[in-house]
Amino acid sequence: MTSRPADAASDRALDFVLRSTDAVTRVEVRSGLLCEFGPLYHRTFDERPAVVITDEVVAGLHLGELADALRAAHVEPFVQVVPPGEVSKTFDQLGQVQDAMARRALGPNVVVVGLGGGVVCDLAGMVAATWIRGVELALVPTTLEACIDACIGGKAAVNLPAGKNLVGVFHPARLVGIDARCLKTLPSRDVRAGLAESIKHALLTDDGFLEWHEGSAGRVLSLDEATMDELIRRNLRIKARIVERDPWERTGERMLLNLGHTIGHAVEAACAFRLRHGECVAIGLAAAARLSAWASLCDRALVDRVDAVLTQYGLALSLAGFVEDRGAPPSQPASADGRAELPQASADGYAESSAAAHGSNAGRTGLPTAGHESAAGLTGLPAAGHESDAGRTGLPAAGHGSDARRTGLSAAVRPESVLDYCRRDKKALAGSLRFVLLEGVGRPVVRSDVPLELVERACRFAIEGD
């Protein structure tokens, strides 16, 4: 994938080319784009039929505008609404959507349009890649995670009972339309979680993006439209630059995008997916910064800077930094031996265990329920729902690491179980763990020689704080 000069018709347009397949992804970022999606679609796909895939939440919020815009461009959308959350990233859901497409007698000229978060983008990508051996894909991402990550790069996947994202494809969208106004309906907790990925991208580059974050928190957190447009564009450029050097994930370059994710994924799994992915990435970034300093790759000033910017954006540095549940906080360790059940393999280096899922859609995933006990039971963590849990663990406590807070989330997860999950990461090579570390801002390095005692210390930090 390579960046092309901005489209002459609009300096807001970005074009990327996936070199290996010569597929072109045209990305447009513009507040208000949703109601102007018709002409954009028409310019790219003419009046070809569209199947719009969205989820129940997004359908109630943003589908009307998109559907009206398509109709105005003489395209009658065939809409498929799926349940929200990971439960929809399954073969079963894929089959249901394609059965409906077959009943509608849609042919190879159909365009699959995904309107929603990363789950919908992934499902739409799988539908498009496999319908009559591949049809065109357009994405309209509506979460920050999807706007800055899932919508470009060409990857799509569904989950198996054995693990998350195990069956996937490379099938880049031809058109990505991003309207930052959609983010205004997103719970602020999800906005902050998405910002962890933005901070990750900023740490991977030395183009002043970290300074930009440091100076823009107020405007970003209030979702100022121009600021969000700029944030999204800069993120997409950074991801595109990395993906263009390793479109098929073969040279290792794409591994850099895993900064903060080894320990982040492990925390996510050890917490039975009760936290947002981005919240765990923030913890992983704080841990990776420490690991870098302890391994003498960078000095402590970088750790302080990473801590400060994450805190500025309301992200906790460790599980101890989360405010306790308003309900009964977990006080038991994960299980009799203090461990949560280990997940199966995952294409992304981790797996969902039993009934819990990303976004806390407990019990609604396509992933298996543990035989006799749910993950919630195993970890002692409370069950959660997408909207209702904002007050539970979403707000980071001021500071971190006090004994009082260790009675909450941090008491329910043991550092050893985080280490176990790290070891199951697909990036672990024959027993040795690979980490993306920092020699400085914009100077990431992949290391597989980090001493175990430092890894253990980092896992302990991720749970207990400094």
Ligand X SMILES: NC(=O)c1ccc[n+]([C@@H]2O[C@H](COP(=O)([O-])OP(=O)(O)OC[C@H]3O[C@@H](n4cnc5c(N)ncnc54)[C@H](O)[C@@H]3O)[C@@H](O)[C@H]2O)c1
The reply to whether 143 sits near ligand X by the rule CB under 6 A is: yes
Contacts of 268 (CB under 8 A, 6+ apart): 275, 277, 280, 350, 358
Q: Is 165 a catalytic residue?
A: no
* Site stretch for ligand X (CB under 6 A), options 184-192, 330-338, 370-378, 435-443: 184-192
Q: How far is the CB of 427 from ligand X (least distance, A)?
A: 16
Instruction: Report the site for ligand X in 343-362 (rule: CB under 6 A).
Output: 358-359
Q: How far is the CB of 212 from ligand X (least distance, A)?
A: 22
Which of 38, 77, 116, 444 is the binder for ligand X (CB under 6 A)?
A: 116
Which of 38, 77, 114, 118 is the binder for ligand X (CB under 6 A)?
A: 118
Q: Is 258 a catalytic residue?
A: yes
* Site stretch for ligand X (CB under 6 A), options 13-21, 66-74, 115-123, 322-330: 115-123
Closest CA to 289 of 415, 410, 203: 203
The reply to whether 244 sits near ligand X by the rule CB under 6 A is: no
What is residue 205's three-state secondary structure? coil
Which of 25, 80, 98, 142 is the binder for ligand X (CB under 6 A)?
A: 142
State the Cα–Cα distance between residues 322 and 142, nearest whole angstrom.
26
**Which residue's CB atom is positioned nearest to ligand X?**
118
Instruction: Tell me the HSE value of 130 on the side-chain side, using a 13 A CA sphere.
Output: 20
- First and final CA of the chain: distance in angstroms? 40
Q: How far is the CB of 65 from ligand X (least distance, A)?
A: 12
| Closer to ligand X by Cβ: residue 142 or 417 | 142
State the Cα–Cα distance between residues 46 and 73, nearest whole angstrom.
9
State the Cα–Cα distance between residues 56 and 254, nearest whole angstrom.
33
# of chain residues touching ligand X (CB under 6 A):
32
Please report, as a single letter, which amino acid is at residue 285: L
The reply to whether 173 sits near ligand X by the rule CB under 6 A is: no
State the Cα–Cα distance between residues 277 and 258, nearest whole angstrom.
13
* Site stretch for ligand X (CB under 6 A), options 74-82, 143-151, 392-400, 443-451: 143-151
Q: Is 254 a catalytic residue?
A: yes
The reply to whether 55 sits near ligand X by the rule CB under 6 A is: yes
Contacts of 211 (CB under 8 A, 6+ apart): none
Select which of 258, 361, 414, 464 is catalytic.
258
Select which of 181, 237, 265, 386 is catalytic.
265
* Residue ranges in 47-172 assigned as alpha helix (H): 56-58, 64-72, 91-103, 118-130, 144-145
What is residue 143's three-state secondary structure? coil
Instruction: Report the site for ligand X in 248-277 (rule: CB under 6 A).
Output: 277
* Residue ranges in 116-224 assigned as alpha helix (H): 118-130, 144-145, 188-204, 209-221
The CA-atom distances, in angstroms, between 39 and each of 34, 142, 341 are 11, 19, 50
Sign (positive or negative) of CA dihedral 274, 280, 281, 284: negative
The continuous run of DSSP H or E covering 79 comes out as strand 78-82
Q: Is 89 a catalytic residue?
A: no
Select which of 26, 155, 392, 405 is catalytic.
155
* Site stretch for ligand X (CB under 6 A), options 145-153, 226-234, 333-341, 449-457: 145-153
Q: Is 261 a catalytic residue?
A: yes
* Site stretch for ligand X (CB under 6 A), options 79-87, 312-320, 328-336, 441-449: 79-87
String of contacts with ligand X for each residue 193-232, x by CB under 6 A: ----------------------------------------
Which of 28, 65, 136, 145 is the binder for ligand X (CB under 6 A)?
A: 145
Which of 109, 185, 251, 332 is the binder for ligand X (CB under 6 A)?
A: 185
Q: Is 277 a catalytic residue?
A: yes
String of contacts with ligand X for each residue 146-165, x by CB under 6 A: x--xx--x-xx--------x
103 exposed, middle or buried (CB, 10 Å; 0-12, 13-18, 19+)?
exposed
State the Cα–Cα distance between residues 382 and 365, nearest whole angstrom.
17
CB distance 126 to 169 below 8 Å: yes
Q: How far is the CB of 120 from ligand X (least distance, A)?
A: 6
Q: Which residues are catalytic?
A: 133, 155, 197, 239, 249, 254, 258, 261, 265, 277
Residue ranges in contact with ligand X by CB under 6 A: 55, 57-58, 61, 84-86, 89, 116-120, 122, 142-143, 145-146, 149-150, 153, 155-156, 165, 182, 185-186, 190, 277, 358-359, 386
